[in-house]
Amino acid sequence: MSDTDISLAMRVDDLSLIECVFHAAPVAERTGESRLAITNPDKRFSLDVKNRQNVLRAMVGVQFGIADPSAPAGEQGEHPEFLHFGALVGVVVTSPIMGDAAIAARHMAGSEESAAAQRDKKMEHAMRLEAIKAGYAFATSKLAEMSAMSPMGTVMLPLIDADEILIDIEKNDAR
């Protein structure tokens, strides 16, 4: 662990299913190409001074589909999906306020960006990461539940590297 790691207690206070779509076409021994997209379209950080907590209210979007590569491609060159799942999950993550007394890395003392600003960025990253993990886990269980009732049988979302996904999302946010 480095001097700049954020290792505080993160707590998921709320998970809400905002929107969910599931469509499975009749299947006869079909295999296909899977597609997965994870987004974080909304995030709002706030301070709950009364309870001494950082609060993140975020939405996590998960889109998953299985396309039939043997079917004719559409106008945009994409093969039609015989399974489509989409979920938009609302997540509330809280963490204790670090405050001015929190230890900052010594090597940041002379940097252009203050140690507190660096620490706050790392806190925001850690809270968003927790929101993405919780939202994805919730979407995984919802897909398993819904697909189990379909003729396809239980379908599970693949394992992900949530940190790499968040880094990609943050790069897109910066553009």
Say what the pLDDT of residue 158 is.
Answer: 94
* CATH number of the domain bearing residue 41: 3.10.420
Q: How many CB atoms lie within 10 A of CB 141?
A: 12
Looking at residue 116, its pLDDT comes to: 72
CA atoms of 121 and 171, how far apart (whole Å): 14
78: in domain: yes
- Residue 148's domain comprises 11-164
What residues are paired with 12 via a beta bridge?
93
Let me know if residue 47 belongs to a domain: yes
Residue 122 belongs to some domain of the structure: yes
In a domain, 5, yes or no: no
The answer to the question of residue 172 being in a domain is no
Q: What per-residue confidence (pLDDT) applies to 27? A: 66
- Give how many domains the chain has, as a whole number: 1
Residue with tokens 């396809």: 152
Which residues have a Cβ under 8 Å from the Cβ of 59 and sit 6 or more positions away?
18, 40, 41, 42, 43, 88, 89, 90, 91, 135
Give pLDDT, residue 142. 97
In a domain, 35, yes or no: yes
1 lies in a domain? no
Give the Cα separation of 88 and 16 in Å (integer): 9
160: how many CB neighbours lie within 10 A of its CB? Answer: 15
Does some domain include residue 6? Answer: no
Q: Tell me which residues of the chain have a pLDDT lower than 50.
A: 1-4, 101-108
pLDDT at 104: 45
* Alpha-helical segments (H) within the chain: 115-148, 162-174
